[in-house]
Amino acid sequence: MERKYSRVLLKLSGEILAGEGHFGLDYEAIRGICEQIVEVAGEGIAISMVVGGGNIIRGAQTTSIERAQADYMGMLGTVINALALQDTLERLGQPTRVQSAIEMRQIAETVIRRRAIRHLEKGRIVIFAAGTGSPYFSTDTTAALRASEIGADCLLKATKVDGIYDKDPAKYSDAVKLPHVSYMDALQMQLKVMDAAAFSLCQENKIPIVVFDVLKKGNLRRLLIDGENIGSMVS
């Protein structure tokens, strides 16, 4: 069976790495996600990742600190998460490289597009950390930017929910799942799945976005190897 995607970018929120808690790192949750990633990487899918930092600090919501400063703190939080993911992946036998948009040579490479692509061609996973390196940009926008840079076939938005709904399913029992949404509808409906800049970047570069539940074991394989239509797609 021909696979739909051969090179993908997986966007992980910091909250997912916190597991059942809202802060810090849950290593069982991280291992469960990494086991799924290693399984599909072993089948020849080139995987890159962008990770958020919301389990450590959310720059945009930190009102007691100046916004740009808070955003830089959030970027450093994403580096902590990237190193945790790298360690777990490599313990599972998967070669991994962290590239940071803020230079910190002792622990990560600087983001270099051509080097990232070379790593992917050699079967290494690349984790992009520190956002875009500039304040006022979300890690969703970073994910769309990096997906465009490396020529990804798809941006996978990994969440705790099984797709896109017309309203928050945690708050409204009558929320309706939307299996497919156009980029324009996503922008006009102001869906909270990703921000407007991320949707626009993906639209401009014709990168579909798949929103799915990464915590359900086997979902990454079902999506990338088995070709099942799980979650919701923006295209």
- CATH number of the domain encompassing residue 178: 3.40.1160.10
Whether 71 is covered by a domain: the verdict is yes
106-116 pLDDT, tens digit per residue, is 999 999 999 99
State how far the Cα of 15 lies from the Cα of 29, in Å rounded to an integer: 11
pLDDT of 60: 62
Whether 22 is covered by a domain: the verdict is yes
Please state the pTM of the whole predicted model: 0.95
**Mean pLDDT confidence for 145-166:** 95
Whether 152 is covered by a domain: the verdict is yes
Whether 1 is covered by a domain: the verdict is no
Phi, psi of 157 (to 5 degrees): -95, 105
Whether 159 is covered by a domain: the verdict is yes
Whether 2 is covered by a domain: the verdict is no
108-137 pLDDT, tens digit per residue, is 999 999 999 999 999 999 999 999 999 999
Looking at residue 217, the DSSP 8-state letter turns out to be: T
Q: How many structural domains comprise the chain?
A: 1
State how far the Cα of 210 lies from the Cα of 8, in Å rounded to an integer: 11
Annotated binding site: 11-14, 53-54, 58, 71, 132-139, 159, 165, 168
196 touches 187 (CB < 8 A): yes
**Boundaries of domain holding 134:** 7-234
* Cβ burial, residue 175 (10 Å; 0-12/13-18/19+): middle
Whether 210 is covered by a domain: the verdict is yes
Cα Rg, the chain, nearest whole Å: 17
Query: To the nearest whole number, what is the mean pLDDT of the chain?
Result: 93
Annotated binding site for ATP: 11-14, 54, 58, 159, 165, 168
pLDDT of 38: 98
* Cβ burial, residue 98 (10 Å; 0-12/13-18/19+): buried
**Count of residues for the chain?**
235
Annotated binding site for UMP: 53, 71, 132-139
Whether 224 is covered by a domain: the verdict is yes
168-222 pLDDT, tens digit per residue, is 888 888 989 999 999 998 888 888 889 999 999 999 999 999 999 999 999 999 9
